[in-house]
Amino acid sequence: MDNNKKFNELTSEESYVIERKGTERPYTGEYDEHYTKGTYVCKKCDSPLYSSEAKFKSGCGWPAFDDIVEGAVKRIPDADGRRIEIVCNNCDGHLGHVFEGERMTSKNTRHCVNSISLKFIKDGE
């Protein structure tokens, strides 16, 4: 990671999730039931991460996506070896976890993302 990059200022709650790998409570995030056309970007660095076209209703309590903007998200095995963490490829900000094999979509992938890790840019803005 380039330490000379300028990042957005984060609140203490945003920092807890994005920089210290915390998790927001399920069903509390602003993007869980959000289905407007546009792009979800990293709250810390503004890098595009997910298209609204990839978002789907999973019922898990967090925004779910079955595809990424190419090259935008990095996968890292959790220390416990049970889950795979997903982080922004540009700033290493914690997004959530990825799950495969659940058969929720034809891509068989669910990126379970904390709303607080995202900003939304509506198409045309």
For the stretch 31-63, pLDDT in tens is 999 999 999 999 999 999 999 999 999 999 999
At 13, which helix (H) or strand (E)? helix 12-18
pLDDT computed for residue 4 by the predictor: 64
Which of 42, 88, 91, 112 is labelled catalytic?
112
Q: Which of 4, 5, 23 is nearest to 13 (CA)?
A: 23
Pick 37-122's CATH classification: 3.40.50.1000, 3.40.50.300, 2.170.150.20, 3.90.330.10: 2.170.150.20
pLDDT computed for residue 49 by the predictor: 98
- Phi/psi at 5 (5° precision): -70, 145
pLDDT computed for residue 52 by the predictor: 98
For the stretch 67-106, pLDDT in tens is 999 999 999 998 888 899 999 999 999 999 999 999 999 9
Tokens of 10: 């984060």
- DSSP annotation of 117 reads G
User: What band does 29 get if pLDDT is binned at 50, 70 and 90?
Assistant: very high
- Whether 112 is a known active-site residue: answer yes
**Alpha carbon distance 109, 40 (integer Å):** 17
> Could you tell me the pTM of the whole model?
0.93
Q: Does residue 5 register a pLDDT over 90?
A: no
